[in-house]
Amino acid sequence: MEGAGPSGCSGEDFEEDVATSVPAAVRRALQLLEEDDADLRIQAACDIRRLTKKSPCCRRQLRHAVRPLVSMLRVDSSESRESALLALLNLAVKDEKNKVSIVEAGALEPIVSFLKSQNPNMQEYASASLLTLSASATNKPIITSSGAIPLLVKILRDGTPQAKADSLMALSNLSTHSDNLDIILETNPVASIIRLLKPCKKSSKTAEKCCALVESLVGYDKCRTALTCEEGGVLAIVEVLESGTKQGKEHAVGALLKMCESDRCKYREPILREGVIPGLLELTVQGTEKSQPKAHTLLQLLRESPNPRSETEPNTIENIVCNLISQIDGKDDQADGKAKKMLAEMVQVSMERSLRHLQQRAALVSTPSDLSITSCASQVSLNW
């Protein structure tokens, strides 16, 4: 993202000059920004972009460039706007003061207008800028009031792959401000989130942010309904739970747990139908400190049946898991280790047959009482 931009910037000679005399290069860039010549200001923006690409020191030294660069965003020249936006983007990276200063200087109005541009590059640069600026807690409510959220969701639906990814992450950042959740939800983003999640690699940052955003929104009934109505929606979350990053798994199990806690009778079956049990068992053993208790609690909610079960059914997976969980919850250290070992063995068996498990998903019927799982050694009835 930071490597793209206008072709009019100087090349290797300039970079050698920067390497030997950064303060002089900084002064020169600031001086060029004050010139009346538009080409010189564009050159200054290009220089600032290069200077700030990897240097926190230059980002601090070039803070006075923020206002002149923001004024360039309003010039009726695509080259001026593009070069200034990219310079501001680099100035904001990992610099909280610059993030706030850029917003205070009035950059949001032109940046938000670029989200509506027919130029896909400008859409990408604007999405990336809002992603960076939205990392600041101070900026979150201001970005929301600028009207950016509906436009970010529109790009999430119709933008380029890069713009979609950056818009998703910007929305994820904004969702951590509780007042923004209602506004995000009003834009009906769930279908777009799931369409982005389904084809992407489940261990990617994109999948992680998709699940983070879903976890934030799934506390609302409107989001839960949209997720279950979207074809493959719950399955996509389950797949992240199985093979996502550690943080992705945390968000995925958190989202499913919120659903089940909100209405166990309504959401237990759609979650079970997607074969969530192997992934949950794995998380109870190998998950993070956050995901383990969530997986444990979700297993409890999924295993509890409204109808009393017979204690004489030792081969049902429900009774096996109940027995293991009761041992893990006990105070006997030896029993605790033994139970975890048994869980690990069950997970290994389930993972070895994961391909067959995926093939069987489509054939699973809608009633939980008919669900089944196959191990290497034998078939175990899953009469949940």
User: Above 50 in pLDDT, residue 19?
Assistant: no
Gap between the Cα atoms of 38 and 32, Å rounded: 10
Better pLDDT: 279 or 342 = 279
Task: Tell me the pLDDT tens digit for each residue of 81-123.
Answer: 999 999 999 999 999 999 999 999 999 999 999 999 999 999 9
Instruction: Say what the pLDDT of residue 36 is.
Output: 93
We find that the CATH architecture of domain 204-304 is Alpha Horseshoe (1.25)
N-terminal to C-terminal alpha carbon distance within the chain: 49
* Mean pLDDT across 333-353: 52
User: Above 50 in pLDDT, residue 39?
Assistant: yes
Q: Report residue 371's pLDDT band, with 50, 70 and 90 as the boundaries.
A: very low
Name residues whose C-beta falls within 8 Å of residue 35's C-beta, 6 or more positions apart in sequence. Answer: 41, 44
Gap between the Cα atoms of 116 and 108, Å rounded: 13
Task: Tell me the pLDDT tens digit for each residue of 234-260.
Answer: 999 999 999 999 999 999 999 999 999
* Mean pLDDT across 184-209: 96
Parse the chain into domains and list their residue ranges: 23-95, 106-187, 204-304
Better pLDDT: 177 or 369 = 177
Where is average pLDDT lowest: 46-50, 146-150, 197-201, 356-360? 356-360
Instruction: Say what the pLDDT of residue 322 is.
Output: 56
- Residue pointed to by tokens 């777009």: 192
Instruction: Say what the pLDDT of residue 373 is.
Output: 32
Percent of the chain with pLDDT over 90: 71
User: Above 80 in pLDDT, residue 313?
Assistant: no
Could you say which DSSP state residue 330 is in?
A: S
Across the chain, mean pLDDT equals 82
- Residue pointed to by tokens 């506004």: 183
Q: Report residue 227's pLDDT band, with 50, 70 and 90 as the boundaries.
A: very high
Instruction: Say what the pLDDT of residue 334 is.
Output: 52
Answer for the pair 257, 265: CB distance below 8 angstroms, yes or no: no
Q: Report residue 23's pLDDT band, with 50, 70 and 90 as the boundaries.
A: confident
Q: Which two tokens stand for residue 295?
A: 């997986």
Q: Report residue 285's pLDDT band, with 50, 70 and 90 as the boundaries.
A: confident
The gap from C-alpha 200 to its chain's centroid, in whole angstroms, comes to 12
Task: With CA atoms as reference, report the closest residue to 338 among 348, 324, 356, 317.
Answer: 324
Instruction: Say what the pLDDT of residue 232 is.
Output: 95
Gap between the Cα atoms of 111 and 85, Å rounded: 8
Could you tell me which CATH number the domain at 23-95 has?
A: 1.25.10.10
Name residues whose C-beta falls within 8 Å of residue 117's C-beta, 6 or more positions apart in sequence. Answer: 123, 126
- Asked whether this chain's domains 23-95 and 204-304 adopt the same fold, the reply is yes
Q: Report residue 312's pLDDT band, with 50, 70 and 90 as the boundaries.
A: very low
User: Above 60 in pLDDT, residue 17?
Assistant: no
* CATH fold of the domain at 106-187: Leucine-rich Repeat Variant (1.25.10)
pTM for the model: 0.76
